[in-house]
Amino acid sequence: MSTDTNEDQLVAEIAELRELLHAKEVKLARLRRDKQVMQEYGLNNDEICRYSRQLFLPEIGVRGQKKIKDSSVLIVGAGGLGCPAALYLACAGIGHIGIVDYDNIEINNLHRQLLYTEANIGTAKVTAAAERINQLNSYVKVTPYKIQLISKNALDVIKNYDIVIDGTDNVATRYLLNDACVLSGKPLVSGSALKFEGHLSVFNYNNGPCYRCIFPKPPPPETVTNCGDGGVLGAAVGVIGVLQALETLKIILNMPDIIFGRLLLFDGMETKFHDIRLRSKNADCVICGQHRVIHELIDYEEFCGAKANDKEPNLNLLRKEERISAEEYNKIAKGDSKSILIDVRSPEEYEICHLQDSINIPFTQLSKDHNLNIIRNNIEKAQEELRPIDMYILCRRGNDSQKAVQYLKKLFTDDTLRIKDIIGGIYAWSNKIDPRFPKY
Ligand SMILES: [Zn+2]
């Protein structure tokens, strides 16, 4: 029997056992609940004991705990923000948590998405999240939504909840959630994180501004970096996710000093928080202003000029003859003819893995004089030996490489020079030529 078959069988067995375990846990939780005596404020003895450390807080008490129990929170995005937020909200005793995410768990999620384990890889995030939350606190009702939130379904989902947490990583969904929250009259606890930094604010709360009041226009799509490209430290994004849970609980408890009309900036590099005051509600805001123009959800991908998901796009910028497959390049590299290979990934990525004889010039540094000189020198050196000259551009997935080809073709117009990109980048190389190359 092959290792793969063995592994498949084990995975199937584990899945079966988990299902059995889940059913037993649900039954046990129900038995325990049935046994409990409800006290005056609608909490049973087990709940009072479980939440006692926060019940002692004068801001909470049994009445506050009942408020938390009676509340419902929708978490959109079960990733680096949504996971820690969900954990703290579940442990604090939120009555109903809805989780929206269309993705399955991948190994590169585990460094920051605390709800999941290695055993969950390949399963739906929302299913694993619901299971984990109920293991922590069986009093919480969890509703998983394995969907992408879009204009057609957003209002229907949101109407069942008191508060919405934005744990997504793209601009189109940010505007969609804002508009849906304004139209449904729900506060939006917004967070974002990249590298060592994070942002936090609450929109559409207590007559404060909405996201559009502050950012009426989406940023140009090419200026937006998500953590799949820019990288993020788990502990940094975790700080913001935990703060989202904290603000949500404060809203439920009707506490003062909710962070609305303000933007909290977290700098994990220097371990500093800055708090900037945002302008107040914009009277001319198209969704929450006095003469609002938007009365229903619009097409947010069109509005933002960007996809409403965190998946990387598959660009198609070049003509067929300007591209080459990994297999074709492999043949060329093995052959006698010489060529120039430029790898436009970051130095950190280049260090992970790279092809022999490649030159690393990061895409973001491509226009720098010294880098263009490196390319020019290589072309001149090759020209002494042969003509025409082939130059190939490689990146991680085959998107930046196309942009680089377009850029370099404008600068180097010598018609003995042929510049092409390698389709699918390192990913394709790993899939088709050398599986030892990691797909990160
Ligand atoms: Zn507004």
**Residue 277 Cα, ligand 1 centroid: separation in angstroms?**
16
Q: Which of 2-6, 63-67, 257-261, 320-324 has the lowest mean pLDDT?
A: 2-6
Number of Cβ within 10 Å of residue 339's Cβ equals 17
- Residue 336: the pLDDT is 79
Q: What are phi and psi of 380, to 5 degrees?
A: -60, -40
CA of 218 from ligand 1 middle (Å) equals 14
pLDDT of 224 over the 90 cut: no
Can you give the pLDDT at residue 52?
Answer: 96
Where do we find the tokens 């619901």?
Answer: 130
Q: How remote is the CA of residue 74 from the centroid of ligand 1, in Å? A: 21
**Rounded distance from Cα 52 to ligand 1 centre (Å):** 39
Q: Give 22 or 180, the one with higher predicted confidence.
A: 180
Please say if the pLDDT value at position 234 is more than 60.
Answer: yes
Q: Which of 33-42, 46-55, 60-69, 260-269 has the lowest mean pLDDT?
A: 33-42
C-alpha span between 399 and 424 (Å, rounded): 8
> How confident is the model over 4-18, as a mean pLDDT?
87
CA of 292 to the centre of ligand 1 (A): 9
Best CA proximity match to 285, nearest among 192, 187, 204: 204
**Quick check: is 353 catalytic?**
no
388 prior amide bond cis, ω within 30: yes
Question: Which of residues 223 and 118 earns the better pLDDT score?
Answer: 118
Are the C-beta atoms of residues 137 and 96 closer than 8 Å to each other? no
- Is 227 one of the catalytic residues? yes
Query: What does the alpha-carbon distance between residue 152 and residue 158 come to, in Å, rounded to a whole number?
Result: 12
Across the range 433-438, mean pLDDT stands at 93
Burial class (CB in 10 A: 0-12, 13-18, 19+), 256: exposed
Is pLDDT above 90 for 125? yes
Distance 224 CA to ligand 1 centre (A): 22
pLDDT at residue 2 in the model: 63
Pairing of strands 262-267, 272-277: antiparallel
**Which residue out of 227, 285, 288, 304 is catalytically annotated?**
227
CA of 406 to the centre of ligand 1 (A): 39
pLDDT-derived band at 36, boundaries 50, 70, 90: low
* Structure confidence at residue 26 (pLDDT): 85
Structure-block tokens of residue 228: 């799949």
pLDDT > 90? residue 358:
yes
Q: Report which of residues 34 and 370 the model is more confident about.
A: 370
Distance (angstroms) between ligand 1 centre and the Cα of 236 equals: 29
Q: What angle do CA 398, 402, 403 make, to 5 degrees?
A: 125
Which of the following is catalytic: 83, 210, 304, 395?
A: 395
437 CA distance to ligand 1 middle (Å) = 47
Proportion of the chain above pLDDT 90, given as a percent:
79
Mean pLDDT of 339-351: 94
Cα–ligand 1 centroid distance for 318 (angstroms): 40
Ion ligand 1 residues within 5 Å by Cβ: 210, 212-213, 285, 288
Q: For the chain, give the percent of residues with pLDDT over 70.
A: 96
Q: What distance in Å separates the CA atoms of residue 232 and residue 285, rounded to the nearest whole number?
A: 33
pLDDT at 228 over 80: no
Report how far ligand 1's centroid is from the alpha carbon of 284 (Å). Answer: 8
- What pLDDT is attached to residue 30? 79
Q: Is the pLDDT of residue 1 over 60?
A: no
Instruction: State how far the alpha carbon of 351 is from the alpha carbons of 177, 354, 357, 365, 431, in Å.
Output: 38, 7, 14, 17, 19
Provide mean pLDDT across the span 243-253.
98
The pLDDT-based confidence of 37 (bands split at 50, 70, 90) is low
Q: How far apart are CA 410 and CA 239, in angstroms?
A: 44
For residue range 65-74, what is the model confidence (pLDDT) as tens digits?
A: 999 999 999 9
- How many whole angstroms from 409 Cα to the centroid of ligand 1? 44
Q: Return mean pLDDT, the chain.
A: 92
What's the pLDDT at 257?
Answer: 96
Q: What is the pLDDT of residue 386?
A: 72
Distance 287 CA to ligand 1 centre (A): 6
